[in-house]
Amino acid sequence: MNDEVNSVPDISGTELIQGIMTYRLRSATENTSSGKHPLLIMLHGRGANEGDIYELVPFIRRNIIIAAPRAPELFDNNPRGAYRWFAWTPNQEIGIEQFVNTAKKLAELVTELTFKYPVDSSKIYFGGMSQGAAMACLMSLLKPTRVKGVIAHSGFLPYHPELTKLYRNAKGKPYFFAHGTEDNVVSIERSRHVANAFSKAGARIVYNEYPMAHTTSIESRHDLADWLHNEVK
């Protein structure tokens, strides 16, 4: 973390809910003309939990519902709770099945959230940090009809030939990429590669780099919030 980011994210105004997945919800407190609200599903990084991802969202307006699910796999025995979306690291190749299985669970969560809350089903966005950003991008490829757009902070995409065939599903979708130029956990080249590949597939890309390590900054969080607000108008 840099000095601008609190070590403990502010989760006040949220509630922990046990559903198809365990998730932390921030309800909308500002009205919209339709009575329905955009939904942002935020995915935490490997070794983190559903509370940690709220670091990214303090500037997001209160007319947007935010749900932060807990990843399905235990990462380690950290008493505060540490989970992962898949058993994979950026330079490792593995089967695509676990990505598909996790995407199915997240799609089921979308169904649950749209049933329980006043969600505008045409404005469902996924976002994430690190491995969560990877999973958000994967959702846009594996379940393209459930994802309007993606925020990918310090992310990557796994290397897999089956995934490259799905890049066409990014066509027309908006993506916001943010990455630190001093990131020594996930190489910035990984974000550059994904942004370039999706752009070639016809996606609408906003790509920003920041002078920071594997973390967020005030600037990157303002930028992603501004991007989302413009998208959901």
Residues 69-106 have pLDDT tens digits of 999 998 998 888 899 998 865 566 666 788 889 999 99
Question: DSSP class of residue 48?
Answer: B
Instruction: Compute the average pLDDT of residues 140-155.
Output: 98
Amino acid type, 169: N
Name the E strands within the chain: 15-18, 22-26, 37-43, 65-69, 73-74, 83-84, 119-129, 149-153, 174-180, 204-210
Q: Quick check: 2 pLDDT over 70?
A: no
pTM, 2 dp: 0.93
Mean pLDDT, rounded, of the chain? 92
Instruction: Compute the average pLDDT of residues 197-210.
Output: 99
Q: pLDDT-derived band of residue 155, with 50, 70 and 90 as boundaries?
A: very high
Instruction: Compute the average pLDDT of residues 111-130.
Output: 98
Instruction: Compute the average pLDDT of residues 208-216.
Output: 98
pLDDT of residue 10: 79
Q: Quick check: 183 pLDDT over 80?
A: yes
Instruction: Compute the average pLDDT of residues 148-156.
Output: 98
Q: Among 59, 213, 198, which Cα is nearest to 129's?
A: 213
Distance CA 196, CA 91 (A): 19
What is the CATH architecture of 15-231?
3-Layer(aba) Sandwich (3.40)
pLDDT of residue 94: 64
H helix intervals, the chain: 97-116, 131-142, 161-164, 188-200, 218-231
Q: Quick check: 28 pLDDT over 70?
A: yes
- CB atoms < 10 A from the CB of 230, how many? 11
Instruction: Compute the average pLDDT of residues 155-166.
Output: 89
- CB atoms < 10 A from the CB of 73, how many? 13
Residue 214: half-sphere exposure toward Cβ, Cα within 13 Å: 14
Instruction: Compute the average pLDDT of residues 207-225.
Output: 98
pLDDT of residue 3: 32
